[in-house]
Amino acid sequence: MNGKVGTAIRLVDCAKTFPNGTRALDKTSLEMRGGETIVFLGPSGCGKTTLLRVIAGLESPDEGGRVYFDDEDVTSQPIEHRNVGMVFQSYALFPNMNVGDNIAYGLKVHGVAPDKRAKRVDEMLRMMQISELRERRITELSGGQRQRVALARAIAVQPRVLLLDEPLTALDALLRERLRIEIDVLLHSLGITAAYVTHDQGEAMAIGDRIAVMNKGAIVQTGSPREIYYKPASSFVADFIGTMNRVTGTLRDGALELPGGRIDWADQQGSGEMQVLFRPNDARIVDDARAPLRGVVEQQFFLGDRTRLHVTGVADRTVVVETTEHREFRVGQSIGLRIEPGALLRLRD
């Protein structure tokens, strides 16, 4: 165990091909700064869990790949020598031990003296607010309690890096939301380097200092949640994170002409027919009479904190618009829209 926190992690040319020939991960290089939380986000089978297991030492990268913890090359070290904390989707708590013994297990393995061990377990239980569960059997715990124990067990040994593999996926929505916030606070208060695997974009946005979006065994974009959301590098990223409108218009006289009106395009380049993208909350509903774009409400969904509208007539296809206004809309109602030119995106692919 080392006292300092925030080990930097560096992957160099790490690929993974399984014995049956499946290539789970293409050559990947990645740097994680000490203390940063990075989220690997992508659909199932995109290689995110394989990448996590390469960092953990549960899988070794193909020939040529290297893994560094700070300046130490750990590529050939098995997981038990890397001092990583792991949290699994299935919790992986030991059913033959009670809660306290589960948390103490890693300390025992590391040879921590019994009195120090007990103190550390107390500290962990308090930190996760589960002190009353110390003597409980694992089978008596709810899913949320199990995940707290799993986190406590992983953190107790002060690992160099914390690796979380879909830790919240097995929980119900409300609990997921709450634990997500707690994990975020916990990771930042510990200052520990963390890698977090999820297929849930909401989770990724809430927890990640950076998000690495993955597809088909490769990282397709790395950036802050804001960058990923507003400046997606490809249409895959744009479509995978949130809702994206994709419309085709013609550029003429410094404006992009759409079936329902026009968007100013003065200071942007390009000519002729072109496709642009924008987020639902970047289209603002404005007074019908002076609106640069017009359309008709086809459907409305009241989502509580906002209202989502499907609007036809604006572009070559239905666009999705979101507003936080409290007013109600009618299906068939005509509305005006304005899209700021700065909110428009153009993608190469």
Partner 1 sequence: MRRPPYFWLQLAFTLLVCSFLLVPVFMSIVAGLTENFFVGVKSGFTTRWIGVVWELYAPTIFRSMYIALATLAVTLVVGVPAAYVLAKRPGMMTRMIEEFLVLPVAIPGLAIALALIITYGGFRDFRTSWGFILVGHVLYTLPFMVRSVLAVLSSFNFQVLEESAASLGAGFWRRFFGIVLPNARSGIVAGALTVVTLSIGEFNLTWMMHTPETMTLPVGLADSYASMRLEIGSAYTLVFFIMITPLLVALQRYGVQSTRTRKGA
Residues forming contacts to partner 1 in the complex (CB under 8 A) are 56, 58, 78-81, 83-86, 88, 90, 92-96, 105-106, 109-110, 138-139, 143, 153-154, 157, 159, 163
Task: Give the Å distances, CA to CA, from 326 to 26, 124, 272, 307, 311.
Answer: 48, 45, 39, 8, 18
- Cβ distance 242 to 230 under 8 Å? no
CA within 13 Å, CB half, 102: 30
Cβ neighbors of 150 (< 8 A, separation 6 or more) are 87, 88, 91, 92, 93, 167
Q: How far is the CB of 157 from partner 1 (least distance, A)?
A: 6
Pick 81 or 226: Cβ nearer partner 1: 81
Neighbours of 202 (CB within 10 A): 13
Cβ neighbors of 316 (< 8 A, separation 6 or more) are 247, 248, 249, 258, 259
Q: How far is the CB of 127 from partner 1 (least distance, A)?
A: 17
Radius of gyration of the chain (CA): 25
Q: How far is the CB of 77 from partner 1 (least distance, A)?
A: 12
Pick 106 or 249: Cβ nearer partner 1: 106
Single out the residue of 262, 282, 286 nearest to residue 322, CA to CA: 282
Pick 166 or 282: Cβ nearer partner 1: 166
Pick 88 or 230: Cβ nearer partner 1: 88
Pick 11 or 86: Cβ nearer partner 1: 86
Helix (H) or strand (E) holding 182: helix 173-190
Q: How far is the CB of 82 from partner 1 (least distance, A)?
A: 8
Pick 24 or 309: Cβ nearer partner 1: 24
Angle of helix 99-109 relative to helix 114-127, nearest 10 degrees, comes to: 130
CA–CA distance, 102 with 176 (Å, rounded to integer): 23
Single out the residue of 12, 5, 74 nearest to residue 37, CA to CA: 5
Pick 80 or 267: Cβ nearer partner 1: 80
Pick 125 or 237: Cβ nearer partner 1: 125
Q: How far is the CB of 79 from partner 1 (least distance, A)?
A: 5
Q: How far is the CB of 108 from partner 1 (least distance, A)?
A: 9
- Cβ distance 146 to 91 under 8 Å? yes
CA–CA distance, 329 with 309 (Å, rounded to integer): 8
Tokens of 334: 């005509």
Q: How far is the CB of 212 from partner 1 (least distance, A)?
A: 21
Single out the residue of 185, 160, 153, 189 nearest to residue 67, CA to CA: 160
Pick 81 or 346: Cβ nearer partner 1: 81
Q: How far is the CB of 86 from partner 1 (least distance, A)?
A: 4
Q: How far is the CB of 92 from partner 1 (least distance, A)?
A: 4
